[in-house]
Structure 1
Amino acid sequence: MSDILCSFETLLFLGCLPWYFVASGIWLSLKHIQSLPLISSDGDSSYPRLSIIIAARNEAHTIETALKSVLAQNYPNLEIILVNDRSTDKTDKILEKLAEKDPRVLIHHVEELPPGWLGKVHAMQQGFLKSTGQWLLFTDADVHFQEGCLDRIIDTAETSSVDYLCVVPEVQARQNLLRALYTVSLSGFFLTTRIWEVKKQNAFVGVGACGLVRRSLLEKSPGLPWLKMEVVDDLAIAQLLWQSGGKLDVYWGRDCLGVEWYPSMGDLIRGLEKNLFAGAQYQYWRALIGIIGILFIAVAPWLSIFAGNWLLSLTAVGAFSVYWLAWIPGNKVQRVGLLERLISPLLLFVVAWALARSTFITWRQNGIRWRETYYSIANLRRGQRLRF
């Protein structure tokens, strides 16, 4: 009996250790990644041609206010390419209305999706083909840009001679639970991408809200057609450019651009439906290991605290403490309150549920349904390019 108890306590001890690893990843990320710089006083006063490419499908509820923030930018050598991807709501009418008032705007309507393409990636490719800029900024239809943001992004890219620059936006969330869950999501993002290694060119990272690409490198690479069935397109583009020899960089953009994450917890769970199983490379065994692993890491410290072993309890309390302390500098990235930090470990159960749900739904329908379009799991597996 004592041997069984000892083995159980050893297992709990091992379940506490990942929290120290997560905390170190958070600390390294916050330490090594800086906020997007202001315009350098001795920066190049020339303005290279910039093409903003926005793919939109049924975004009538968010796109007008977001686009107005783009149109308010004073960057002088700018074109804005809006790709309406088969929208069935009033998105096309909103785009046309905005285009009438601004000659920088070009609209392209996609009427039909060719076989073998994801809708969003195809729309991005159409925007690329219409563009003329030396720099291409891929962004989403719900991202809000602050005044002067484009100048800062281009100035930083030109000054540091990078080929791909992404800016992590500040995420607004209406509920404490959503804000807490976003800190959990960021923690996973940090560890998965090893974002602190990007400046050393030992890793890659991409952000859908703001990914600036040097056109010449994208043209030399296999390009977006290579990613035509890739669900996680932002990270896959970064990987593509990194593997093509590009120099990458990443900055926090709290005072530069923002986006609302999801209006509610239900919207979040549904929104992650297409992504989480993709993160398991569409393999059921990987998803199962992920679910079990997340649940084990979530429950181990709590069981350890009440296990009656003072050393084990101390290890568990230390695990939570270093995780909470690692987030103290997090306000330079995201407004993270004390309450959100304290409750975020509990939300690993939500992450496990979301992954299980994503896996089950994909299995049940033998694929994913994204923006009213069905994609089979066989085609998704064949077309997936993202690898960590």
Structure 2
Amino acid sequence: MNDLILLSWFLLGFLIVRTLIALVNAVSRPYLSEATKVDLARVSILVPARNEEKNLPRLLHSLLKLDYPNVEIWVCDDQSTDKTASLLQEWQSKDSRLRFFRGEPLPPSWTGKNFACHQLAQKASGDYLLFVDADISLSPQALQKALAYFRSHRLTLLSIFPQQKMQTTAEKVSVPFMNWALLNLLPLPFVLNMKNPLFAAANGQFMLFSATEYHENQWHEQVKDKHVEDIWIVRRMKQAGKRVAVLLGNQDVYCRMYTSYQEGLQGFSRNVHEFFLGSRLLMVLFWLGLMTAPAVIFLSFGLAGFIVYLFILLLNRLLVAWASRQSVCTSLLFHPLNMFFFTHVMIHNICLAINHTGKWKGRSINI
């Protein structure tokens, strides 16, 4: 058996493994379920916000519509240069549950979001701390469901990847990349059931903690210099034997993450290598496998082998779309463009690493 055929079997096997992972994620239904009655423990909803005047109204509207009465909402205006502060002042005057403050200047060795979250936790008085990003929205039942899931599974952290709402062609090209990578590479039930930090995942857009455990461990301070704080926090938790679960948002947690191709490129390029255990070498090897597999399999096995490969690839994409609650037709149609976007993101990520710096929300960051 020559080297080309061996490579073909490896690439085909890797696709089958990824499809099995996608199947596990699809059939395990990793969503919040209907809530049973829970006592109304106090929840502090904590929002780090830097230059979020466009996103905050949608988030705040959903938070104030929650069917869970015992909440306080704190927003940290993280040195914004837009109209975030004046917008928050207006909303604060309408509802006593909402309060905001201007964050302190960023100290050395901290990233902006970690420092904002650290300050928010110091303000919070709740039994639970829910950190959410300004670009998400919650259904009225989302918090009740999340607390019920948290308690029934005896968790230290519950994190949710929001359902992505996409309106423009540019969003359909860029945004599906995140769930495609997540659901191809990580069986979500393993995050809860495996202690190995290899199975670490989280999304900083929605992270629910026990306040007692958070204050004892100061999770954001532990990873204060990390730009992908969510994954690093889970790695620390797993090393400490804590229980973590990761779900998909379905209709309960959703967002319009990026509204343009350029926003998606800048956002994903900061940390795409973290999908591959923080290794850019693994990222490039993964990309090479994706790009070369069709030609290599065709040369080794002919048209019949190529058709088998294509069928499994389509099944993989269908399963990811189904689990993500995305349009199957749109997902299949845009898959080649999603792979082009991944290529662009990977190249940009490597360029940022070579230069050791990038920009995010007007701040320079080390990559």
Fold match by TM threshold 0.5:
yes
- For residue 371 of structure 1, the aligned residue among 358, 361, 364 is 361
- For residue 351 of structure 1, the aligned residue among 330, 342, 345 is 342
Q: Deviations over 1:36-81 (max 9, x none)?
A: 11122xx23x200100010000011111122111122232211101
Aligned match of 1:317 = 310
Q: Does 1:75 align with 2:68?
A: yes
Seen in structure 2, the aligned counterparts of structure 1 residues 376 and 160 have a Cα distance that, compared at 3 Å, is closer
Gaps of 5+ in 1: 378-388
The whole-number CA distance in structure 2 between the counterparts of 1:119 and 1:83 is 11
User: In structure 2, the residue corresponding to 1:272 is in which secondary structure?
Assistant: helix
Q: Does 1:98 align with 2:91?
A: yes
User: Is the CA contact (8 Å cut-off) linking 1:195 and 1:204 kept in structure 2?
Assistant: no
User: In structure 2, the residue corresponding to 1:229 is in which secondary structure?
Assistant: coil
Seen in structure 2, the aligned counterparts of structure 1 residues 224 and 48 have a Cα distance that, compared at 3 Å, is same
User: Is the CA contact (8 Å cut-off) linking 1:217 and 1:241 kept in structure 2?
Assistant: no
User: In structure 1, the residue corresponding to 2:162 is in which secondary structure?
Assistant: strand
Q: Deviations over 1:264-311 (max 9, x none)?
A: 2222112222112555677xxx42452243133223124533667356
Aligned match of 1:63 = 56
- For residue 243 of structure 1, the aligned residue among 239, 243, 247 is 239
Counterpart amino acid of residue 86 in structure 1:
Q
Aligned match of 2:19 = 23
Seen in structure 2, the aligned counterparts of structure 1 residues 175 and 302 have a Cα distance that, compared at 3 Å, is farther
Seen in structure 2, the aligned counterparts of structure 1 residues 228 and 211 have a Cα distance that, compared at 3 Å, is same
Seen in structure 2, the aligned counterparts of structure 1 residues 118 and 190 have a Cα distance that, compared at 3 Å, is same
The whole-number CA distance in structure 1 between the counterparts of 2:299 and 2:19 is 22
Shift of 1:93: 0.6
The whole-number CA distance in structure 2 between the counterparts of 1:308 and 1:148 is 52
Identity among equivalent pairs (%): 20
| RMSD of aligned residue pairs (Cα, Å) | 2.5
User: In structure 2, the residue corresponding to 1:47 is in which secondary structure?
Assistant: coil
User: Is the CA contact (8 Å cut-off) linking 1:199 and 1:248 kept in structure 2?
Assistant: yes
The whole-number CA distance in structure 2 between the counterparts of 1:343 and 1:129 is 44
Shift of 1:348: 2.4
The whole-number CA distance in structure 1 between the counterparts of 2:282 and 2:251 is 38
TM-score (norm 2): 0.89
Matches within 5 A, 1:38-53: 38-40=34-36, 43-44=37-38, 46-53=39-46
User: In structure 2, the residue corresponding to 1:297 is in which secondary structure?
Assistant: helix
Counterpart amino acid of residue 14 in structure 2:
P
Matches within 5 A, 1:113-132: 113-132=106-125
Q: Does 1:54 align with 2:47?
A: yes
TM-score (norm 1): 0.85
User: Is the CA contact (8 Å cut-off) linking 2:12 and 2:309 kept in structure 1?
Assistant: yes
Seen in structure 2, the aligned counterparts of structure 1 residues 360 and 102 have a Cα distance that, compared at 3 Å, is same
Q: Deviations over 1:124-166 (max 9, x none)?
A: 0000011011100010011111122212222222333322112
Aligned match of 2:209 = 213
Q: How many residues align?
A: 364
Aligned match of 2:249 = 253
Seen in structure 2, the aligned counterparts of structure 1 residues 152 and 134 have a Cα distance that, compared at 3 Å, is same
